[in-house]
Amino acid sequence: MYKKDQALKLDLAMNGPAILDNSPFLLKARDEYNRAELIREYNAGRYQDKGLPGIM
Protein backbone atom coordinates (compact mmCIF):
# COMPACT_ATOMS: atom_id res chain seq x y z
CA MET A 1 0.00 0.00 0.00
CA TYR A 2 2.85 2.40 0.83
CA LYS A 3 4.52 1.85 -2.54
CA LYS A 4 1.23 2.45 -4.37
CA ASP A 5 0.66 5.64 -2.37
CA GLN A 6 4.15 6.90 -3.17
CA ALA A 7 3.72 6.03 -6.85
CA LEU A 8 0.45 7.98 -6.96
CA LYS A 9 2.08 10.98 -5.26
CA LEU A 10 4.97 10.86 -7.70
CA ASP A 11 2.57 10.67 -10.64
CA LEU A 12 0.62 13.64 -9.30
CA ALA A 13 3.81 15.65 -8.83
CA MET A 14 5.05 14.87 -12.34
CA ASN A 15 1.80 15.19 -14.26
CA GLY A 16 -0.18 17.38 -11.90
CA PRO A 17 -3.89 17.92 -11.92
CA ALA A 18 -5.42 19.43 -15.01
CA ILE A 19 -5.89 23.19 -14.76
CA LEU A 20 -8.55 24.81 -16.87
CA ASP A 21 -7.03 27.75 -18.70
CA ASN A 22 -10.34 29.62 -18.65
CA SER A 23 -10.76 29.45 -14.88
CA PRO A 24 -11.76 32.91 -13.58
CA PHE A 25 -9.59 32.47 -10.48
CA LEU A 26 -6.57 31.48 -12.55
CA LEU A 27 -7.09 34.38 -14.96
CA LYS A 28 -7.45 36.86 -12.09
CA ALA A 29 -4.30 35.55 -10.40
CA ARG A 30 -2.38 35.76 -13.68
CA ASP A 31 -3.56 39.32 -14.30
CA GLU A 32 -2.59 40.38 -10.77
CA TYR A 33 0.84 38.77 -11.17
CA ASN A 34 1.43 40.44 -14.54
CA ARG A 35 0.39 43.83 -13.14
CA ALA A 36 2.70 43.45 -10.14
CA GLU A 37 5.61 42.46 -12.41
CA LEU A 38 4.96 45.40 -14.74
CA ILE A 39 4.88 47.83 -11.82
CA ARG A 40 8.07 46.32 -10.38
CA GLU A 41 9.89 46.62 -13.71
CA TYR A 42 8.57 50.15 -14.28
CA ASN A 43 9.71 51.25 -10.82
CA ALA A 44 13.12 49.71 -11.49
CA GLY A 45 13.47 52.06 -14.47
CA ARG A 46 13.01 49.61 -17.30
CA TYR A 47 10.61 51.81 -19.28
CA GLN A 48 11.91 55.26 -18.30
CA ASP A 49 13.37 55.95 -21.75
CA LYS A 50 10.01 55.32 -23.44
CA GLY A 51 8.40 58.52 -22.13
CA LEU A 52 5.43 56.67 -20.64
CA PRO A 53 3.17 58.26 -18.03
CA GLY A 54 3.20 56.92 -14.47
CA ILE A 55 1.41 53.65 -13.76
CA MET A 56 -0.22 54.62 -10.49
If one counts every other C-beta atom within 10 angstroms of the C-beta of residue 2, the result is: 6
* pTM score of the predicted model: 0.51
**For residue 18, what pLDDT band results from cuts at 50, 70 and 90?**
low
Question: What does each C-alpha distance from 13 to 5, 7, 21, 27, 30 come to in angstroms?
Answer: 12, 10, 19, 23, 22
Residue 53 has pLDDT above 90, yes or no: no
Pairwise CA distance, residues 21 & 3, whole Å:
33
Q: What type of residue is 35?
A: R
Q: What type of residue is 7?
A: A
Q: What type of residue is 31?
A: D
Q: Which residue has the higher pLDDT, 23 or 6?
A: 6
